[in-house]
Structure 1
């Protein structure tokens, strides 16, 4: 599948077609997790209706309308990680920069054109993925990534998270990762899902205005307590 083909998924594609494209993109993303073409296509393949519903919800509030109008960006070119590192320890900016440094990864970047609010919300979700790691405390190991997917499923109901969780859980049940037993793995996913359900929606939060805010303050505001 070429990049051009992945971007030509029609709006009226059948569920079978969307599932087929999503599974192919997911396969490619295992080897190239930051690829913007496959990532965006995977995200939109099953989530377009969810994002359309969210866009309607955004239109009902002043802050939501402002976000859809301004379409803020958390792409790599918008982030000054060197400046963030100079902020006090514990602030969102400082801990965000530390997250990238410690994990030896780079911020999200894409050249894809935003043609609609649906495209923007899809991009916004991908941009906030790393911020959610910082806020929720879920790790970047296999189990931590699945916990974050479960959290997002509870918070936004994105269908692609169900596909990621299904594939990840099948693999985990066949061959447990990171020394986590199967029962513990399932318990942690369920706890993350319930936490996401109990938390305020994160997608319309203006992280750009809170780089100097302590992570602890934002976690208390945006994330329900993590319970077993």
Structure 2
């Protein structure tokens, strides 16, 4: 699997591209995007390949409520530089803000960042989906290991119907079934991603949430408010 950057000239999606063409291009990007998730060309091209329709539906949903219209108008951001991590770290332990900073530090990562110019509400929703990734890790409790990442993709697929999550999950599952991660059997892996998908379907749509308004609230309370239980669902 190559990790070389892709030439932007090769990433232009042909007009009226077939599903096979869109899947092929999205797969090429997914093979090189790790560690460069904020690349505006990669991100926007994947959106065009797979999720424009999904994001359009989400935008229409948001436009149907006062809070949603305000979210689209003000476009709050969880990007690096837009969130005062030092201030959040001073919040009491257990709060969303404090625990998000702990999550970043424990995993030695930084908030999402991109140079994408937001020209439409669809651009914003695509960016918002990516920048809420770490908040969703924290709220769901899914780890940042391979299996935990696949659980989060399954949750996002169940919750929003994101096709990029579907593709990532398919590729990750093929790899897991071929070479299982240490300590996780194939049957356990399949059960965990199935349960994460069902949990996502049973939970509130997370892109409706203005997380920045809840920094001082306990994670446990927000998890109970927004998410279905993590226990196995039959």
TM-score (norm 2): 0.92
In structure 1, the residue matched to 2:7 is: 2
1:171-210 counterparts in 2 under 5 A? 171-210=175-214
Give distance in 2, aligned partners of 1:159 and 1:36: 19
Does structure 1 retain, via aligned residues, the 8 Å contact 2:51–2:162?
yes
CA RMSD in angstroms comes to 1.5
**Which residue, out of 80, 97, 111, partners 2:115?**
111
Task: Show structure 1 runs of 5+ residues with no match.
Answer: none
Does structure 2 retain, via aligned residues, the 8 Å contact 1:200–1:223?
yes
**Given the superposition, is the C-alpha separation of residues 156 and 11 from structure 1 closer, same or farther in structure 2, using an over 3 Å criterion?**
farther
Instruction: Tell me the matched-pair count.
Output: 226
In structure 1, the residue matched to 2:99 is: 95
Q: Deviations over 1:2-45 (max 9, x none)?
A: 23553x43674332332121011101124x35342323432442
Does structure 2 retain, via aligned residues, the 8 Å contact 1:44–1:122?
no
Give distance in 2, aligned partners of 1:108 and 1:3: 21
**Which residue, out of 77, 83, 92, partners 1:73?**
77
Give distance in 2, aligned partners of 1:123 and 1:4: 22
TM-score (norm 1): 0.94
Task: Show structure 2 runs of 5+ residues with no match.
Answer: 1-5
**Given the superposition, is the C-alpha separation of residues 147 and 164 from structure 1 closer, same or farther in structure 2, using an over 3 Å criterion?**
same
Give distance in 2, aligned partners of 1:33 and 1:152: 20
In structure 1, the residue matched to 2:126 is: 122
In structure 2, the residue matched to 1:14 is: 18
Deviates more, 1:212-221 or 1:33-42: 33-42
Give distance in 1, aligned partners of 2:210 and 2:159: 17
Quick check: 1:29 aligned with 2:39?
no
